């Protein structure tokens, strides 16, 4: 992760990495501002999927581009 991140961008990236997959609306408001920068730097992925099987509405989710979760690498 050597993409010249600010301290706040690193904090947001670590938050997303810790939760593995985050519903965008569940992120703290201030952290949402760093999402476009992290996406442009290629560190995270923003995608849409259904939040529940009973609803056809799709919601935005965010996750890191790492291939293996941190719990499996330890």
pLDDT per position in the chain (74 positions), as tens?
A: 556 889 999 999 999 999 999 999 999 999 999 999 999 999 999 999 988 888 889 999 999 987 444 443 43
pTM for the model: 0.76
Q: Are the C-beta atoms of 3 and 42 separated by less than 8 Å?
A: yes
- What pLDDT is recorded for position 56? 87
Burial 37-56 (b: 16+ CB within 10 A, else e): bbeeeebbeeeeeeeeeeee
Task: Provide the residue count of the chain.
Answer: 74
- What pLDDT is recorded for position 1? 52
Angle, vertex CA 69, rays to CA 68 and CA 71, nearest 5: 125
Q: Which residues contact 10 (CB under 8 A, 6 or more apart)?
A: 1
Q: What would the CATH number be for the domain defined by 7-66?
A: 1.10.10.10
């Amino acid at each position: 992760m050597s993409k010249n991140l600010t301290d706040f961008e690193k904090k947001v990236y670590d938050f997303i990495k810790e939760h593995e997959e985050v519903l965008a609306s569940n992120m703290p408001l201030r952290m949402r501002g760093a999402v476009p920068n992290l996406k442009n730097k290629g560190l995270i992925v923003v995608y849409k999927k259904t939040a529940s099987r009973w609803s056809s509405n799709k919601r935005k989710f965010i996750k890191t581009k790492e291939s293996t979760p941190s719990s499996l690498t330890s």
